[in-house]
Chain A
Amino acid sequence: MRWDLLSLFLVNGLIVGVLYGLVAMCFVLIYKASRVVNFAQGELMLIGAWVCWSALAQYGLSFPVAFLFTVAFSALLGVAIQLVVLRPLIGEPLISMIMVTVGLSVFFQAVLKWIFGVAPQSFPPVLSVQKISFLGMEVEAAYLASSGAAIVLLAGFAYFFKVSKLGLAMRATAFNQQVAQSLGVSVRHVFALAWAISAFVSAMAGIVIALVNGVSAGLSAFGIKVFPAVILGGLDSIVGAVIGGIVIGVLENVAEYVDGQYLHWGNLYTIAPFYVLVIILMIKPYGLFGSRDIERL
């Protein structure tokens, strides 16, 4: 048992887990507001990362400017997706809702490869230090900064949903669309807003991951990892999504540790979350914090 290695994996897992949690929150935001299951969450991250990379490396903008530009671009893209693709499908069966985002995901994936190529690109260094020693361990500075930023963002969202009028309108819509509408909430605006927030927060998460790992098509695999996180936490619970993300991040790294030390299977790391996903679906399909659907004839 190598405690130093295990604790390094644990800290890494925690940090990656916060990022998973952030993306999972974006997923839940859309699901709660409009009952759309967004299979293209990973591609929203990828688009953010590529746009930011392009602004930095190809147009030579400074990082803050590129970052702000990316955020604005992603928010607009989110609204555009909602307007063009999802609004015509309101009221369609679940299969259409699922498949349309799967289609979007394939489309974006291919278009991004087309525009930016398949070779991974590394970001120009943004932070002055690459690694920081944290509790005696070497941790990527960008990850550490990002998990700090993620925690600030999550706190901001907690405030937004608890106190602000817009946040309350979103919660009301999530609770019951018809009642919200009759009380004067513009459901259309809420849907658009949910997509805008979800897209730009995903883009931010994408940028952070790309800062460390570089940007390539593989980044959107993060979007798939969202599913174990949200199923664990419960599909319609924001708190659950964040906790689920952290658990999946830690679990993934523990799996990597166990695999590297004892099993030597090679890719338990990538597949472990899916086993967890299946097990959770079997024993507790509504997750830890999700609300149970009650159906009547």
Chain B
Amino acid sequence: MALQSARPCGDFRVSYAQDMTIFPTRGSLIACIVGLALLMCAPAVFDRYGLSLLILIGIYGIAALGLNLLTGFTGQISLGHAAFFGFGAFTSTYLSNKHGVPVALSIPLAGVITTFVGMVVGLPAARIKGLYLAIATLAAQYILEDFFSRAEWFTGGAAGAMAKPYSLFGYALKGEKAYFYVVLAHLVALYVFAANLLRTRDGRAFVAVRDHYLSAEVMGVDLTRYKVLAFGISTFYAGVAGALMAHYVSFVSSESINILLSIQFFAMIIIGGMGSVMGSLMGAAFMVLMPEALETIVHLMKSTSWGNIPKIVDGLNFAKEAAIGLVIVLFLILEPQGLAHRWRLIKSYWKLYPFAH
């Protein structure tokens, strides 16, 4: 049975256990373990700048994962994800500053409180769908933004609030290296939860709601319950990500929680691939690395004689912003299923290499 490790050229699954498995081959299990081990070594390899990028990818990846659970798996469009991200950031800051909750505890707690807010928003939103939901969540984004700038007792108003550094059992974990492990731990836990959620009854119900909500209801899926549940889980992710962000940059203000951030989260799941857990991280990585790549290109151009055009060099920030819009449009037209799909194609190409069927 030498060919046992080779997979057939289609999906031939004969049992539910095969269908639901996380690791379809032993190779994918090994790849996962090796990848995780490599990530654990990352602080030894990268400098502070590289680590800060990895931390950002991790934080945005968590938020994108949450949005993907809501939009990619349950089919509910939310343009207000940044508002929940911000809510988590403010909640964790508020809990740790005003009530002395240790930061290690205040981050998940912020996630839980954000979940309640998300469910309160999600409950009426469960009545509407599609385009109307997109507009309603857009309104929620503006209303929450307004709340952040108004509620000084909670957010520090226009001035913002300082967030404490992360501490565990009384030891403050400072610097990128320590924080990298903090983010990694949260990311792995939430990633595993998301990947496993989709193997459960609830996860399949989410997909059923997305694919055909009427049929799902006829089959006995409680629409309101699962829509609200999806909102809750998605906002939990957003809240945790926001809290991690707040304690990383140690400052949070309502200025940064704008609609553009919501659009960026959406861009991440479009680029990564809607309905793909892995894709959320790919999209987050793309969105974090793209501005850096632009910056590098502009710096290289600046040092040459022909590329030092003031309009381009000075307009770098606008170029970064325009690039966000442009990649959304280009991905939707050219690669609507995202990087995760491209990755699958590449994998299957090599797997079947000489005999692409």
What is the chain A residue whose CB lies nearest that of B315? A114
Q: Which 3 A-B pairs have the closest CB atoms?
A: A107-B325, A103-B328, A106-B325
B332's partner among A37, A100, A265 (CB-CB below 8 A) is A100
Q: A34 CB to closest chain B CB, in angstroms?
A: 13
Chain A residues within 8 Å of B149, by CB: 267
Task: Across the interface, name the chain B residue whose C-beta is closest to A96.
Answer: B332
A212 within 8 A of B: no
User: Which of A95, A96, A109, A275 touches B143 (beta carbons < 8 Å)?
Assistant: A275
A290 to B322, CA, bound (A): 35
Residues B302-330 near A (CB distance < 8 A): 311, 315, 318-319, 321-322, 324-329
Q: How far is the CB of A264 from chain B (nearest CB, A)?
A: 12
Q: Which residues of A contact B319 (CB under 8 A)?
A: 110, 114
- CB of B260 within 8 Å of the partner chain: yes
Bound-state CA distance A281–B137 (Å) is 11
The docked-state distance in angstroms from the alpha carbon of A271 to that of B336 is: 34
Bound: A32/B315 CA distance, A: 38
Contact with A along B140-170 (1 / 0, CB 8 A): 1011001001100000000000000000000
Some 17 contacts from A to B, beta carbons below 8 A apart, are: A88-B333, A92-B332, A95-B71, A96-B332, A102-B79, A103-B327, A103-B328, A107-B324, A107-B325, A108-B325, A109-B321, A110-B321, A266-B150, A274-B143, A278-B136, A281-B124, A281-B132
A window 1-54: CB within 8 A of B: 37
Q: Which residues of B contact A191 (CB under 8 A)?
A: none
Q: Establish whether residues A103 and B135, one from each chain, have CB atoms under 8 Å apart when the complex forms.
A: no
Q: Which residues of the partner chain A approach B131 to less than 8 Å between Cβ atoms?
A: 37, 94, 98, 235
**How many residues of chain B are within 8 Å of chain A by beta carbon?**
45
Known A-B contacts A104-B325, A281-B132; the reply to A92 vs B336 at CB < 8 A is: yes
Segment 205-231 of A: residues with Cβ below 8 Å from B: 224, 227-228, 231
Contact B138 A227 (CB under 8 A): yes
Contact mask B104-138 → A, CB, 8 Å, 1/0? 00000000000000000000100110111011101
Evaluate contact between A110 and B333: CB separation under 8 angstroms: no
Complex: A270 Cα to B311 Cα, angstroms: 34
Would you give the shortest CB distance from B103 to chain A, in whole angstroms? Answer: 32
How would residues 252 to 290 of chain A score, 1 for a CB under 8 Å from any chain B CB and 0 otherwise?
Answer: 000000000000011100110011011001100100000
Known: A99-B332, A100-B332. A110 touches B139 (CB 8 A): no
Q: Which residues from chain B contact A266 at a C-beta distance below 8 Å? A: 150
Which listed residue, B79, B124, B325, touches A103 by the CB 8 Å rule? B325
A89 at the interface (CB under 8 A from B): yes
For the complex, is B296 an interface residue (Cβ under 8 Å from A)? no
Q: How far is the CA of A94 from the CA of B76 in the complex (A)?
A: 11
Nearest-Cβ distance from residue B86 to partner chain A, whole angstroms: 16
| B328 with A295: CB separation less than 8 A | no
For A271, the chain B residues whose CB sits under 8 A away are 142-143, 146
- Closest CB-CB distance, A285 to chain B, in whole Å? 5
- Does residue A297 face the partner (Cβ distance < 8 Å to B)? yes
Contact, CB under 8 Å: A105 / B325: yes
New A-B contacts (10) at CB < 8 Å, excluding given A103-B263, A114-B311: A94-B77, A94-B130, A103-B327, A103-B332, A104-B325, A107-B326, A110-B322, A224-B138, A267-B146, A285-B128
B37-77 to A contact mask, C-beta < 8 Å, 1/0:
00000000000000000000000000000000001000101
